[in-house]
Structure 1
Amino acid sequence: MATAFDPEEVVEQVTGRLIERFPDADAAQIRTIVAEEVGALQSMPVTDYVSVLSERAAKKRIKAL
């Protein structure tokens, strides 16, 4: 059974992980990037992988900064 998808919860979880991984990056900027990535994926029919996919995309963007 799938759990309810809460985009704000996904943003908070992914942001927390990425702040730990990139401590020198601006936390507000990381949150903005994650929120953009989650926003782009949240309308997909299957939301089970939004967390993983948004984290992967956000990491790529943060590394490019």
Structure 2
Amino acid sequence: MTREVDDEDTIRQVVDRLQEKYPEVARQELESVAREEFHSLAGRPVRDYLSILTERAAKKRLKRDIKESS
């Protein structure tokens, strides 16, 4: 239970930071991207860096998506 709460807190923090960087992207989309990136990393032995790695992966994906939609 604690890990699930911590995971949700990590995702929320990443989404908050992404929202500052990508204000033109809907929060729901940012959360979806962050959640997918988080879960793709969660099974790996990188739990201490999960927040940073999730944010980096989400930023990379959002930059690509924004570039492709332009």
TM-score, normalized by the shorter chain, greater than 0.5: yes
Residue in 1 that maps onto 2:64:
64
Deviation at 1:46, TM superposition (A): 3.4
The TM-score, its normalising length taken from structure 1, stands at: 0.85
Residue in 2 that maps onto 1:30:
30
- Which structure has more relative contact order (CA 8 Å, sep 6+)? It is 1
Residue in 2 that maps onto 1:14:
14
Residue in 1 that maps onto 2:44:
44
Count of matched residue positions in the alignment of Structure 1 and Structure 2: 62
Deviation at 1:44, TM superposition (A): 1.7
**What percentage of aligned pairs have identical amino acids?**
40
Unaligned runs of 5+ in 1: none
What's the CA shift string for 1:7-64, capped at 9, x where partnerless?
1111000000000111011111110000001111112223000001110000011111
Instruction: Name the Cα RMSD after superposition.
Output: 1.3
Runs of at least 4 residues off by over 4 Å? none
